[in-house]
Amino acid sequence: MKPLAALYSSLLEEYGPQGWWPLPSHGGRRGFDAHGYHPGDFAQPRTAAGRFEIVLGALLTQNTAWTNAEKALARLREAGIEMPADVLAVETGRLAAIIRASGYFNQKARKLRAAARIFLKKGSLSGRIPPDREELLSSWGIGPETADSILLYAFRQPVFIIDAYTRRLFARVGLILSPVGDEIIRRLVHDALSPRHEVFNEFHALVVEHAKRHCRARALCAGCPVQRCAYRKRAAA
């Protein structure tokens, strides 16, 4: 088994299915936990509203913990703001006040409105045709990580997300030996794993979970399930 495939297997065995991306609006429904996670169900989201909820969440969680984004999403639902037209119908200042819990709320209100314009214009929330990555990137406030999160989790496209957690873990276990571009990392993942959205969905979610528990900026190596780790080997020497 290739080292990267072995890493995926060890994380899945340790943490189990993660059920990303959560849909808080579905929390407590059949197949969802209280926070909207849906382990093993890769057919989510099934509706335009669910897809746009992920778009909103991907923007609201920038530079903050998911718990804060979740609070902002709840406030949006309470205000009846669930679709692009709803976002654009609200004055920017009021929108910022509604999403205050997410931090950087004035900027994020502008980001939500910019994204809403794209999805209202393109009509891609139907799910039949996914949005174009370059067009997402052209929207103010959507960078590569956010664009790829939207494509993978909202539109089930086989795009592996490369973020700070991915780079840190891959470097520590020796999969990459120096700073490299996103395409090199993506090629590494595509060569080692089946290029299916279900696999990339689960793997990215597992990397994030592992980073929270063990592979932090200051690593907590005790109890780490990753057997082949160059970082831990050096630390123990």
Tens digit of each residue's pLDDT, the chain (237 residues): 789 999 999 999 999 999 999 999 999 999 999 999 999 999 999 999 999 999 999 999 999 999 999 999 999 999 999 999 999 999 999 999 999 999 999 999 999 999 999 998 877 788 888 999 999 999 999 999 999 999 999 999 999 999 999 999 999 999 998 788 999 999 999 999 999 999 999 999 999 999 999 999 999 999 999 988 888 877 665
Residue written as token pair 């991915």: 166
The residue from 122, 154, 186 where one domain ends is 154
Position 25 scores a pLDDT of 98
Position 236 scores a pLDDT of 65
The residue from 110, 126, 154 where one domain ends is 154
For residue 77, what are the domain limits?
44-154
Considering the domain architecture, whether residues 115 and 182 belong to the same structural domain is answered as no
Q: Smallest Cα–Cα separation from 84: which of 124, 52, 45?
A: 52
Other beta carbons within 10 angstroms of residue 172's beta carbon come to 21
Residue written as token pair 């990753």: 226
Structure tokens that stand for 214 in this block: 């063990």
Position 237 scores a pLDDT of 59
Assigned domain for 193 exists: yes
* Prediction pTM value: 0.94
What CATH number does the domain containing 196 carry?
1.10.1670.10
Assigned domain for 26 exists: no
- C-alpha to C-alpha distance for 7 and 12, rounded to whole angstroms: 9
| DSSP category for residue 25 | G
| DSSP category for residue 150 | I
- 75 backbone dihedrals φ, ψ, rounded to 5°: -65, -40
Residue written as token pair 């990215």: 204
**Alpha helix stretches (DSSP H) within the chain:** 3-15, 48-60, 66-78, 84-88, 92-98, 105-122, 133-138, 144-149, 164-172, 182-192, 197-213, 230-236
